Amino acid sequence: MMKIGYLGLGAWGYCLANMLASKGFAVTAWTVEPNVARALRETRRHPVFPDIEASAHLTVTTELEEALHGADIIVESVTSAGVRSVFTEMKALREVSVPIIFTSKGIEQGSGLILEDVVAEVLGEEYRNLLGCISGPSYAVEVIRGLPTSVVGSAYDVNVMKTVCEIFQTPTFRIYPNSDIRGVAFGGALKNIIAIACGIGAGLQLGQSSQAALMTRGLHEMCKLAVAGGCRAETLSGLSGMGDLCVTCSSTKSRNFRFGNLIASGLSSEAAKEEIGMVVEGAYTCVSALQLSQRLNVSMPITECVYRVIYEGMSPQDAVVALMSRAVKEEHL
């Protein structure tokens, strides 16, 4: 039986770990949250999904070494801010020579690296061909209940990409291969910023037309930065770009959308994060994206306004005025 070492048991991590275990893989999942580990050991239920019983093939640990021991594949679902520290700890524990699959979405602050590149830097460039990812329109609350969706599986190496698609594929979770791993990663990371903007717009009751405009121009920003970062533009039109953008920008199931909505209601960014109670990846990534856009000389007005609202105290209403009063140029796609 193939053993999978799973890192991270938030809502998305547990959803995928349990899905893999339900396929018959022996999954040892690591979490830094003792209450989550205790709940799963004692009741076989995750606190976020009390009505879903964990597969018999899922084992939970708070020891990273235990999750890594004997693993044929490692799957990552930690926060984007925590990736470097987790893999630095992993490197200190043992040599890794198995595929590592990313399910988190983000760009590291300061370095501007996608998460896969962060780990290649930590473990060594020779490990790059072991790295892969999945990304696309997928809410944990829907996937764990078997509602159908399609996502993208990608990797630097074609054989790892095939492995990604094979182990995650289920009758209701369809995986399309895409070799542009950077484009897949950029799409999954950047759409969270636009989701915050759309949440703000919805909270201000700006209407469906403004939501459509934000998503369209947001996708344009995403494409510009991705292409400047060496990605294929068409990747952003697929499941990991437009697909993920559509679902994240239109539902309160998205924590990034809810975060923007709460800010529009008058909460500070810190109070909004506390209300959600989970990591808001878009708040982290908008810093990274703005840093990278300045480095690559790419204009990203929506991202800049989201940053100013979250970190500089700009009012949501003033952000709308700033975007609507920009000089008009011919539309380029």
Task: Say how far apart CA 175 and CA 172 lie, in whole Å.
Answer: 10
* β-pair partners for 153: 134, 177
Domain that holds residue 259: 182-324
Residue 164: which pLDDT band, with cuts at 50, 70 and 90?
Answer: very high
Which of the residues are catalytic?
Answer: 191
Residues 237 and 298 grouped into a single domain? yes
Residue 333: which pLDDT band, with cuts at 50, 70 and 90?
Answer: low
Residues 206 and 274 grouped into a single domain? yes
Number of domains in the chain: 2
Residues 287 and 194 grouped into a single domain? yes
- Residue 141 clears pLDDT 70, i.e. is over it: yes
Residues 154 and 223 grouped into a single domain? no
Q: What is the pLDDT of residues 87-117, one digit of tens each?
A: 999 999 988 899 999 999 999 999 999 999 9
CB 53 within 8 A of CB 45: yes
- Among residues 179, 202, 230, which one ends one of the domains? 179
Residues 237 and 127 grouped into a single domain? no
Task: Say how far apart CA 2 and CA 25 lie, in whole Å.
Answer: 6
Residue 327: which pLDDT band, with cuts at 50, 70 and 90?
Answer: confident
333: in domain: no
Q: How many CB atoms lie within 10 A of CB 18?
A: 25
Q: Computed from CA positions of residues 189, 82, 100, 40, in that sequence, does the dihedral angle turn out positive or negative?
A: negative
What pLDDT does 245 receive?
96
Mean pLDDT of all residues belonging to the chain: 95
What CATH number has the domain bearing residue 265? 1.10.1040.10
Residues 145 and 82 grouped into a single domain? yes
30: in domain: yes
Q: What is the pLDDT of residues 193-228, one digit of tens each?
A: 999 999 999 999 999 999 999 999 999 999 999 999
Q: What is the pLDDT of residues 176-192, one digit of tens each?
A: 999 999 999 999 999 99
The tally of CA atoms less than 13 A away on the side-chain side of residue 81 is: 10
331: in domain: no
Taking residues 249-256, report their average pLDDT.
92
Taking residues 52-62, report their average pLDDT.
97
Residues 238 and 221 grouped into a single domain? yes
Residues 306 and 251 grouped into a single domain? yes
175: in domain: yes
Residues 11 and 115 grouped into a single domain? yes
- Among residues 144, 161, 179, which one ends one of the domains? 179
- Residue 332 clears pLDDT 80, i.e. is over it: no
329: in domain: no
208: in domain: yes
Model's pTM, two decimal places? 0.94
Rounded to the nearest 5 degrees, what angle is found at the Cα of 187, between the Cα atoms of 29 and 323? 130
What CATH number has the domain bearing residue 99? 3.40.50.720
Residues 228 and 89 grouped into a single domain? no
Q: Computed from CA positions of residues 22, 179, 77, 197, in that sequence, does the dihedral angle turn out positive or negative?
A: negative
Q: Computed from CA positions of residues 188, 175, 159, 130, in that sequence, does the dihedral angle turn out positive or negative?
A: positive
Residues 21 and 167 grouped into a single domain? yes
239: in domain: yes
**pLDDT above 70: percentage of residues in the chain:** 99
Residue 331: which pLDDT band, with cuts at 50, 70 and 90?
Answer: confident
Residues 197 and 292 grouped into a single domain? yes
77: in domain: yes
- Among residues 179, 203, 227, which one ends one of the domains? 179
Rounded to the nearest 5 degrees, what angle is found at the Cα of 239, between the Cα atoms of 237 and 245? 75
